[in-house]
Homo-oligomer: A and B are copies of this chain.
């Protein structure tokens, strides 16, 4: 049994952390912080967590008495909180982008902030760094697009079969967070498809950082907001350098992810569906078709708030404390 705190618990990722942690067999939640909702019961903000007795508190991060703290805070805010939390002796899983990039200069270029407190962190993707995560003091939880994109590209990159990936992702609106904005305003977002950050999304350097540790590959990435609440479906187009079959392509993925508790490779050309992973920590990878011009298509689907954020963070926690990796995460997706 460990004590955990959540800093910035009133947003969507905070709500999902609470959903899982309240049902975790080994966890006691000792703090759910929010400046805006100080003294408000969390069920007034996360109406699904109706039976929770927790109340938001405006507590200083460094005053939380916990074994582990999740920082579900905006980019640029985490770097101000993480050092003081680590000083209390707690371990940290940071859900912002502040500790994902190895090079401070790359961070500063893409995020536009001066980094005030660079620290060594483990990139929290168990499908690559499971052993390092177990021992980490600070885990940088991956971005939502990189999680789906890396799971769909790592095996191919590792085999050296490609020079570049064109990743055309379709994301649900919850990825934009709980605060209203013009592009997530219902009359704008509904019945529409909105490409954005067409050539310069800041998740690109994160994807390239991890893929380039395996092989020199270029990532061309364009995200699209689609009228969906949860989920990221990534269509990965790539020209293969060798003439392999669709079956061989599939087996490369099956081998790489063999034994993974949350990655499922779909057989027989089955196409991943967002509704199959909705609300769950599973990533589905499928398609593996190759067209007449040598272009392969791989498709991955995740729930951006779960495997793409809070579920992955809880999976990392399970690894850090030696809990069952699926504790509180073993529910299936809600289909349809």
Contact with B along A183-194 (1 / 0, CB 8 A): 011111111111
Stretch at the interface among A89-97, A135-143, A283-291: A283-291
Contact with B along A262-278 (1 / 0, CB 8 A): 00100000110111111
Q: A12 to chain B: which residues have CB within 8 Å?
A: 187, 336
**A172-B185 Cα distance, complex, nearest whole Å:** 12
Q: A264 to chain B: which residues have CB within 8 Å?
A: 50-51
- A sample of 11 more A-B contacts (CB under 8 A), given A173-B190, A195-B287, is A23-B332, A46-B335, A166-B237, A173-B187, A184-B186, A186-B227, A193-B231, A193-B274, A218-B293, A222-B297, A227-B228
Q: Which residue of B lies closest to A180 (CB)?
A: B180
Knowing A166-B237, A273-B47 touch, does A187 contact B199 (C-beta < 8 A)?
no
Residue pair A50, B180 in contact (C-beta under 8 Å): no
Does A170 have its Cβ within 8 Å of any Cβ on chain B? Answer: yes
Which residues, 274 to 306 on A, are CB-close (under 8 Å) to B? 274-280, 282, 284, 287, 289-293, 295, 297, 299
**Shortest distance between the CB of A285 and any CB in chain B (Å):** 11
**A82-B121 Cα distance, complex, nearest whole Å:** 60
**A198-B331 Cα distance, complex, nearest whole Å:** 30
Q: A179 to chain B: which residues have CB within 8 Å?
A: 185
**A164-B48 Cα distance, complex, nearest whole Å:** 31
**Shortest distance between the CB of A210 and any CB in chain B (Å):** 17
**Shortest distance between the CB of A307 and any CB in chain B (Å):** 13
Residue pair B299, A191 in contact (C-beta under 8 Å): no
Residue pair A334, B279 in contact (C-beta under 8 Å): yes
Q: A333 to chain B: which residues have CB within 8 Å?
A: 48
**Shortest distance between the CB of A236 and any CB in chain B (Å):** 10
22 contacts between A and B (CB under 8 A): A47-B270, A47-B273, A48-B333, A48-B335, A50-B264, A50-B282, A50-B332, A168-B237, A170-B224, A174-B336, A180-B181, A180-B185, A185-B186, A190-B191, A192-B273, A193-B231, A198-B287, A220-B237, A220-B291, A227-B227, A230-B334, A279-B334
Copies of this chain in its oligomeric complex: 4
**A15-B22 Cα distance, complex, nearest whole Å:** 26
Residue pair A330, B23 in contact (C-beta under 8 Å): yes
Assign chain A's interface to a size class.
Answer: 35 or more
**A235-B226 Cα distance, complex, nearest whole Å:** 13
**Shortest distance between the CB of A88 and any CB in chain B (Å):** 30
Q: Which residue of B lies closest to A171 (CB)?
A: B193
**A49-B293 Cα distance, complex, nearest whole Å:** 35
Does A248 have its Cβ within 8 Å of any Cβ on chain B? Answer: no
**Shortest distance between the CB of A247 and any CB in chain B (Å):** 15
**A297-B49 Cα distance, complex, nearest whole Å:** 24
**Shortest distance between the CB of A10 and any CB in chain B (Å):** 12
**A279-B229 Cα distance, complex, nearest whole Å:** 15
Does A112 have its Cβ within 8 Å of any Cβ on chain B? Answer: no
Residue pair B226, A227 in contact (C-beta under 8 Å): yes
Partner of A23, one of B164, B293, B331: B331
Q: A230 to chain B: which residues have CB within 8 Å?
A: 187, 191, 334, 336
